[in-house]
Amino acid sequence: MRPYEHSHPWISFQFNAERLSQRTLLLLGEAHSKCSHIAGVPLTPGVAGELHRIYMAKGVGGTTAIEGNTLTEAQVREVLLGKLDLPPSQKYLQQEVENVAQACAEIGQKVLDGQAQLTVDWIKHLNRLVLRELPKEEHVVPGEIRGYSVGVLRYRGAPHEDCEHLLARMCRWFEEWPVKAWGTGSEIPTALLKAVLAHLYIAWIHPFGDGNGRTARLLEYYLLADAGVPSPAAHLLSNHYNLTRSEYYRHLDRASKSEQGVVEFIEYAVQGFVDGLHDELRVIRQQQWRMAWRDYVHEVFRGRRSESDQRQRDLLLALGLRAWEAVPRKDLPELTPEIVRWYATKTDRTLSRDLNTLVESGMVVRTDEGYRARLEIVLAFLPPRKPSEEELRDARRIAKELEAAGLPARGR
Q: Of 54-58, 254-258, 348-352, 394-398, which range is least confident?
A: 394-398
Instruction: Taking residues 241-255, report their average pLDDT.
Output: 95
Instruction: Taking residues 254-261, report their average pLDDT.
Output: 93
* d(C-alpha 212, C-alpha 151), whole Å: 12
Q: Are 24 and 183 in contact (CB under 8 A)?
A: no
Q: Of 43-47, 324-328, 335-339, which range is least confident?
A: 43-47
Tell me how crowded residue 287 is: count the other CB atoms within 10 A of its CB: 19
- Of 391, 392, 409, 390, residue with least CA distance to 400: 409
Q: Are 143 and 127 in contact (CB under 8 A)?
A: yes
Over the stretch 164-205, which tens digit does the pLDDT of each residue have?
999 999 999 998 886 555 666 789 999 999 999 999 999 999
pLDDT band at residue 283 using 50, 70 and 90 as cut-offs: confident
Q: Of 6-10, 38-42, 43-47, which range is least confident?
A: 43-47
Instruction: Decide which of 319 and 403 is more confident.
Output: 319
Instruction: Taking residues 151-162, report their average pLDDT.
Output: 84
User: What's residue 396's pLDDT?
Assistant: 66
Pure H helices in 41-90 = 45-65, 73-80
User: What's residue 386's pLDDT?
Assistant: 66
Answer yes or no: is pLDDT of 391 > 70: no
**Percent of the chain at pLDDT above 90?**
74
* d(C-alpha 139, C-alpha 151), whole Å: 15
What's the pTM?
Answer: 0.84
Over the stretch 108-125, which tens digit does the pLDDT of each residue have?
999 999 998 999 999 999
Answer yes or no: is pLDDT of 411 > 50: no
Those residues whose C-beta lies under 8 Å from the C-beta of residue 404, and which sit 6 or more positions away, are 367, 368
pLDDT band at residue 332 using 50, 70 and 90 as cut-offs: very high
User: What's residue 290's pLDDT?
Assistant: 81
pLDDT band at residue 279 using 50, 70 and 90 as cut-offs: very high
User: What's residue 262's pLDDT?
Assistant: 96
Q: Which amino acid is at 70?
A: T
User: What's residue 399's pLDDT?
Assistant: 59
Instruction: Taking residues 96-109, report their average pLDDT.
Output: 96
User: What's residue 410's pLDDT?
Assistant: 44
Over the stretch 211-235, which tens digit does the pLDDT of each residue have?
999 999 999 999 999 999 999 999 9
What is the torsional sign of CA 228, 229, 235, 239?
negative
Instruction: Taking residues 317-344, report their average pLDDT.
Output: 92
Answer yes or no: is pLDDT of 289 > 90: no
Instruction: Taking residues 204-213, report their average pLDDT.
Output: 96
Mean of all residue pLDDT scores within the chain: 90
Answer yes or no: is pLDDT of 35 > 50: yes
Over the stretch 355-373, which tens digit does the pLDDT of each residue have?
999 999 999 999 999 999 9
* d(C-alpha 134, C-alpha 142), whole Å: 10
